[in-house]
């Protein structure tokens, strides 16, 4: 555990269970530096909420299968009074027009499938033999602008001045998942579209495989940005609103950064970049407030030390306190019935949302508010490293239905 304290100041924020700390220690055995945000919990190979800095290497498992998962929020020119009488109708419109799950199957079928990203030179990395490249292109085009399931959402909020915001959360969908699994396979001596053991994969950026992954990861990041912005702006179109400000950030990604005079590849898995003055959108749960925050500027020397220890990162959400199965029980996707009950009931979730006056479309017990920590407590544990600029009260939450099978939901 001593290797966890490998940066000046406190680099573990909040309280965490032993399994999460052991997982972070394992990452620290390979990385130059690590940090853990206060919404952290067990993940795959690397804890969610974790940050790891490598010397010219990148962790494929660290970036994760949902490459470039992130949040986008748009501040509009509308006030709550403009929408108050037809929030239910707007919620229905979002659910009917935006596609949740795998394919574009709802009314809005004008996603930018001819975006210049599909002409990016990184596609040349994918072999054309036996149609491999074409299949990946087809998958990416078909899923561009779909929100997915799990904890991915489209929300409408009102801030402390009753200004309306739209927020979305999802990543690069099946395209990013294919990139992650492929490079794990290639590292194990297999080929494109071949299955391989899902395992930690550290790639040097001096090697061709590492360079290729870096290019494809960045392409997936570009893809996620295009998709999130299209969905958020589609909701603005439904409301008849204008865009005043866009706040957009990945929280499953890797960046080239310099810390304490040394160059690193910094992987954030479920952690939001928060350099001084850099804004981010962080959600709570379907029944809790979200925030617009930024890395604190003009900080004290003590706070600057904490910011550097966090590698200028912060939380990406409130953080789960129970697994999906623990919360909702087991679901039979073929028969579309619940096989076993979990700790959260429909009544518990509905009562919470009714008290908060949140209109929900879709959503499942595995994403109920009871499954998450409370965001104010999580933010408090990050100390003075960040400052909250706006508090966003959820009015509408739209998610995939509980029985929506989606292999890319995380």
Q: What is the per-residue burial (b if ≥16 Cβ within 10 Å, else e) of 282-304?
A: bbbbbbbbbbbbbbbeebeeebb
Looking up tokens 């997936």, which residue turns up?
220
Residue 83, pLDDT > 80, answer yes
pLDDT of 383-400, one tens digit each?
999 999 999 999 999 999
β-bridge mates for residue 254, sequence order: 267
pLDDT band (50, 70, 90) for residue 6:
very low
pLDDT band (50, 70, 90) for residue 126:
very high
CA distance 371 to 327: 7
What are the φ/ψ torsions at residue 119 (nearest 5 degrees)?
-105, 5
- Inside any domain, residue 408: no
Residue 23, pLDDT > 90, answer yes
Name the helix (H) or strand (E) containing 157. strand 153-158
On average, the pLDDT of the chain sits at: 93
Residue 8, pLDDT > 60, answer no
- Inside any domain, residue 409: no
pLDDT band (50, 70, 90) for residue 407:
low
With 0-12 / 13-18 / 19 or more C-beta atoms within 10 angstroms meaning exposed / middle / buried, residue 54 is: buried
Q: Are 183 and 138 in contact (CB under 8 A)?
A: no
Q: What is the CATH number of the domain that holds 296?
A: 3.90.1860.10
Please give the residue range of the domain that contains residue 237.
2-401
Residues 249-262, mean pLDDT to the nearest whole number:
97
Tokens describing residue 310: 């966090």
Please name the residues in contact with 148: beta carbons below 8 A apart, sequence gap of 6 or more: 100, 101, 102, 170, 171, 173, 400, 406, 408, 409
pLDDT of 363-374, one tens digit each?
989 899 999 999
Share of the chain above pLDDT 90, in %: 83
Tokens describing residue 363: 């959503």
pLDDT of 291-312, one tens digit each?
999 999 999 999 999 999 999 9
Residue 4, pLDDT > 90, answer no
Residue 323, pLDDT > 90, answer no
Residues 26-53, mean pLDDT to the nearest whole number:
96
Residue 105, pLDDT > 80, answer no
Tell me how long the chain is.
410
Q: Are 386 and 274 in contact (CB under 8 A)?
A: yes
- Inside any domain, residue 259: yes
pLDDT band (50, 70, 90) for residue 67:
very high
pLDDT band (50, 70, 90) for residue 122:
very high
Tokens describing residue 345: 């009931």
Considering only CA atoms, which of 42, 41, 36 is closest in space to residue 6?
A: 36
pLDDT number for residue 206: 98
> Cβ–Cβ contacts within 10 Å for residue 336, how many?
12
Tokens describing residue 76: 């509009």
Residue 87, pLDDT > 90, answer yes
Residue 28, pLDDT > 70, answer yes
pLDDT number for residue 157: 98
pLDDT of 190-199, one tens digit each?
999 998 899 9
- Inside any domain, residue 236: yes
- Inside any domain, residue 139: yes
pLDDT number for residue 184: 97
Considering only CA atoms, which of 71, 125, 127 is closest in space to residue 246?
A: 71
Q: What is the pTM of this model?
A: 0.93
Q: What angle do CA 71, 388, 283 make, to 5 degrees?
A: 30
Residue 7, pLDDT > 60, answer no
Q: What's the total number of domains in the chain?
A: 1
Residue 120, pLDDT > 90, answer yes
pLDDT band (50, 70, 90) for residue 331:
low
pLDDT of 147-178, one tens digit each?
998 899 999 999 999 999 999 999 999 999 99
pLDDT number for residue 327: 85
pLDDT number for residue 406: 65
- In the sheet that holds 33-41, the strands lie side by side as 33-41, 48-54, 262-269, 252-259
CA dihedral angle for residue 302, residue 306, residue 309, residue 311, rounded to 10 degrees = -120
| Rg of the chain taking only CA atoms, in angstroms | 21
CA distance 31 to 215: 21
- Inside any domain, residue 323: yes
pLDDT band (50, 70, 90) for residue 1:
very low
CA distance 276 to 127: 42
3-state secondary structure 56-96: CEEEHHHHCCCCCCEEEEEEEEEEHHHHHHHHHHHHHHHHH
pLDDT number for residue 336: 66
């Amino acid at each position: 555990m001593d290797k966890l304290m490998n940066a000046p100041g406190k680099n573990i924020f909040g309280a965490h269970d032993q399994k999460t700390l052991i997982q972070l220690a394992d990452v620290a055995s390979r990385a130059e530096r690590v940090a853990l945000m206060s919404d952290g919990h067990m993940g795959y190979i690397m804890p969610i909420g974790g940050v790891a800095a490598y010397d010219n290497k990148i962790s494929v498992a660290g970036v994760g299968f949902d490459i470039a998962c992130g949040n986008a929020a748009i501040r509009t020119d509308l006030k709550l009074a403009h929408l108050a009488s037809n929030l239910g109708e707007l919620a229905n419109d979002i659910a009917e027009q935006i596609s949740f799950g795998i394919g574009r199957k709802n009314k809005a079928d004008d996603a930018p499938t001819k975006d210049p990203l599909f002409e990016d030179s990184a596609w040349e990395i994918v072999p054309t033999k036996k149609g491999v490249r074409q299949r990946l292109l087809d998958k990416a085009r078909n899923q561009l602008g779909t929100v997915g399931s799990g904890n991915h959402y489209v929300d409408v909020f009102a801030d402390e001045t009753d200004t309306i915001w739209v927020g979305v959360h999802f990543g690069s969908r099946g395209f990013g998942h294919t990139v992650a699994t492929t490079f794990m396979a290639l590292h194990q001596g297999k080929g494109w579209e071949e299955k391989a053991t899902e395992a930690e994969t550290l790639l040097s950026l001096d090697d061709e495989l590492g360079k290729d992954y870096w290019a494809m990861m960045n392409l997936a990041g570009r893809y996620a940005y295009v998709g999130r912005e299209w969905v958020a702006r589609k909701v603005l179109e439904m409301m008849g609103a204008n865009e005043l400000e866009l706040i957009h950030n990945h929280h499953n990604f890797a960046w080239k950064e310099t810390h304490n005079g040394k160059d690193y590849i910094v992987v954030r898995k479920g952690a939001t970049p928060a350099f001084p003055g850099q804004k981010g959108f962080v959600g709570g749960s379907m029944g809790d407030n979200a925030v617009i925050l930024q890395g604190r500027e003009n900080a004290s020397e003590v706070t600057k030390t904490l910011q550097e220890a966090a590698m200028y990162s912060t939380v990406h959400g409130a953080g789960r306190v129970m697994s999906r199965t623990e919360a909702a029980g087991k679901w039979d996707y073929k028969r579309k019935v619940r096989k076993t009950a979990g700790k959260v009931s429909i009544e518990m979730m509905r009562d919470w949302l009714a008290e908060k006056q949140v209109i929900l479309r879709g959503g499942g017990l595995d994403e109920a508010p009871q499954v998450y920590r409370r965001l104010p407590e999580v933010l408090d544990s990050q100390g003075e490293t960040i400052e909250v600029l706006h508090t966003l009260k959820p009015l509408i939450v739209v998610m995939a239905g509980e029985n929506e099978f989606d292999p890319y939901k995380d």
